[in-house]
Amino acid sequence: MTAALAKTGARRRGIGEPGEGAADAVAPSLPVSFTIPTPPSANHLFRNVKGVGRVKAKHYEDFQRMAVAAVRRQKVPSFDGRVILVFGIERMDDRSDIDNRLKGAIDALVVAGIIQDDRFVTALWAAWLPPANGLTHVIIAPATEPLRVEFRPATSGACGSWFLAPSNEGDHDGHQPQ
């Protein structure tokens, strides 16, 4: 743990305890949306330190602190159990791979206490958004109800948006997973 993290009172996973900063709520039954800063690429989350091994890069620790602060400001409730995630990540340059942004974003949700662990992510969708404020837009839903998600690409095809579509109750396309 770095001295800077120790000063912030951060303990578990380098930032905070599960649920710390999350709004007091009991397992939300509806999707919740909020924003976090856009995470650094997975290619730059860790660095090698001779004699120590791989450690979190400073800019990754900084990102996690900013993400936790954003979640606290927005009073995002914590989710127990399995979840579905939808990400809209503002694309700041054309060289980035979208999948390299997901690791940092999901880890930030765990560190902030919003989800228990990334092993509880049942499904996820991700799309690039046009650059605006350097944010990642997140929707979390419990993985207990059907969720219809619609993607609408931009004319160029370089980005687009996710929309939650109304779910027809009981409509499972003839298939109900057990």
> Which residues are registered as beta bridge partners of 160?
153
In the block, tokens 């996820």 appear at: 124
Q: What's the mean per-residue pLDDT of the chain? A: 81
pLDDT attached to residue 164: 84
Domain-located, residue 137 = yes
Q: How confident is the model at residue 177 (pLDDT cuts 50, 70, 90)?
A: low
Do residues 77 and 121 make contact, with C-beta atoms less than 8 angstroms apart?
A: no
pLDDT attached to residue 1: 34
Domain-located, residue 85 = yes
Domain-located, residue 80 = yes
Q: How confident is the model at residue 117 (pLDDT cuts 50, 70, 90)?
A: very high
Do residues 45 and 105 make contact, with C-beta atoms less than 8 angstroms apart?
A: no
CATH assignment of the domain containing 59: 3.30.1330.70
HEC-encoded secondary structure of 29-60: CCCEEEEEECCCCHHHCEEEECCCEEEECHHH
Terminal Cα-to-Cα distance of the chain (whole angstroms):
42
- pTM score, two decimals? 0.77
Domain-located, residue 172 = no
pLDDT, one tens digit per residue, over 128-165 is: 999 899 999 999 999 998 888 888 998 988 888 888 87
Give the rounded percent of residues in the chain with a pLDDT score beyond 70.
78
In the block, tokens 């939300």 appear at: 28
Residue 46, pLDDT > 90, answer: no
- Total number of domains constituting the chain: 1
Domain-located, residue 90 = yes
Domain-located, residue 58 = yes
Residue 169, pLDDT > 70, answer: no
Domain that holds residue 61: 26-165
User: What tokens does 145 get?
Assistant: 């109800």
